[in-house]
């Protein structure tokens, strides 16, 4: 069964550093999403992406964040200058129309 994959599974970085989180969506899906989940809290929507552009973004998704689909398979989330409060699980998802399939997540720890 096709699945969404994410790398790395765990990323540790120092405050102020840039990180890139990578996702490989399901190949025939057209919609892509990033979410984050701070430990013990709800899953928060960050951004959706369709047709090579951002469709919608939340207030969390400020200028420190960017997304890109650099080739036909990868979908990346970049955080330019990480802050302690960026520590969270980051989930990528993809969908054809409605049902979103989630990846296993990347645990980002900012020290």
Interaction site with another protein (CB under 8 A): 31, 33, 35, 41-45, 48, 50, 55-56, 58, 91, 93, 98-105
Rounded-to-10 torsion of CA 52, 56, 59, 61: -20
Residue with smaller CB distance to another protein, 14 or 42: 42
Q: Among candidates 79, 94, 102, 101, which has minimal Cα distance to 48?
A: 94
CB of 102 to another protein, least distance (A): 4
Residue with smaller CB distance to another protein, 10 or 81: 10
């Amino acid at each position: 069964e096709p699945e969404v994959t994410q790398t790395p599974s765990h990323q540790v970085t120092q405050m102020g550093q840039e990180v890139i989180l990578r996702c490989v969506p399901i190949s025939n899906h057209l919609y892509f999403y990033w979410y984050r989940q701070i430990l013990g809290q709800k899953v928060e929507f960050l951004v959706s992406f369709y047709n090579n552009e951002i469709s919608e973004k939340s207030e969390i998704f400020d200028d420190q964040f960017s997304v890109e689909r650099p080739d036909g398979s990868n979908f990346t989330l970049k955080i330019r200058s990480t802050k302690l409060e960026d520590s969270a699980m980051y989930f990528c998802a993809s969908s054809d129309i409605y049902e979103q399939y989630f990846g296993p997540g990347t645990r980002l720890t900012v020290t």
